[in-house]
Amino acid sequence: MNAFPPLFIERLNVIIPPENIVSVLEQFSVKKKLAFRVNTLKAKVSEVLEYLQAQNFFCRPVSWNSKAFLADIDSVIDLNKTGLMADGKIYIQNLSSMLPALILDPHPDDYVLDLCAAPGSKTSQMADLMSNKGEIVAVEHIKPRFYKLKSVLSISGVLNTQCYLSDGRRFRHPRGELFDKILVDAPCSSEGRFSCLAPKTYAYWSIRKIKEMQKKQRGLLLAASRLLKSGGTLVYATCTFAPEENEAVVDWLLRKADNSFHLVPCTITGVKDYRPILHWQGKDFSSEVKKCFRVLPDHQMDGFFIACFKKD
């Protein structure tokens, strides 16, 4: 832990409950279990499992997601050799990253916006949940990531998605229609993915970086709020611990939108969580933020934050 910035550890000791802090600090030194989900647009779950077993690869099911598995192997390279990734039949994805799409719960008849879509993990997951029906609009601002998004969707057999190279803060669909459901998996300081085994993951951490991300997140969330139908659902997610990027952004939108949004509780049975932050550095947040979902990181899960808004 000595490699991490002391201020990061100091903040974490305030954010994480005392009974969990030791286990959370320990997980930064542990290599995460390799997780993947079966893409049922390309293959049946049973087909994939039988194929892996025939090649002496064994997988453990995830209780809260029937398409997700933990692989009993040391390297993604080994899984890649099976050909399942290249064929789009499976997709390597941290378990925590699968949660936002499950909470958004897109249906085959929904009109969905993925406002920060690259590299396509959650976009392709939502297309799978929607059985390639309905319509997804996927937006990405950075050109190389945009082409990565299109590649992932093509390999995954996604047919119900239109991709747009655009800044999500200024995006407007050419048809001018509002969306049933919107996902904002926002760019963030990525604290939940820090690892002592990979110094590059935390090399650029700073309070300044957190503030820069907060400004971008506010812009994205405000844009999304204006593109959502009345009665629609908006899921906001980050992979960071920082309250400035999580509860503070949620609290800001609730106030900015003049009570036209409310939060709904979003937890998933079988996923460990811990209490949201209601007070941070002299600022009290709306009691609504108690309904947010902070995922407790461990050897399987990354630290994640999720808020689910309903538009009144």
249 close to 221: Cβ distance less than 8 angstroms? yes
Torsion of CA 205, 206, 207, 208, to 10 degrees: -110
Other C-beta atoms within 10 Å of 31: how many? Answer: 10
Q: Which residues contact 38 (CB under 8 A, 6 or more apart)?
A: 44, 45, 48, 67, 68, 69, 89, 90
Cα–Cα distance measured from residue 175 to residue 162, given in angstroms and rounded to the nearest whole number: 13
Report in angstroms the alpha-carbon separations of 225 from 84, 148, 184, 186, 201. 38, 26, 10, 14, 31
Q: Which residues contact 106 (CB under 8 A, 6 or more apart)?
A: 112, 126, 129, 130, 134, 136, 181
3 state SS of 266: coil
253 close to 273: Cβ distance less than 8 angstroms? no
Which residues are paired to 164 by β-bridges? Answer: 139
Count of helices and strands (H, E) across the chain: 9, 15
Does 239 participate in catalysis according to the annotation? Answer: yes
Out of 59, 116, 188, 239, which one is annotated catalytic? 239
Which residues are paired to 59 by β-bridges? Answer: 71
Q: Which residue has the tokens 């049975």?
A: 269
Cα–Cα distance measured from residue 305 to residue 291, given in angstroms and rounded to the nearest whole number: 11
**Catalytic residue ranges:** 239
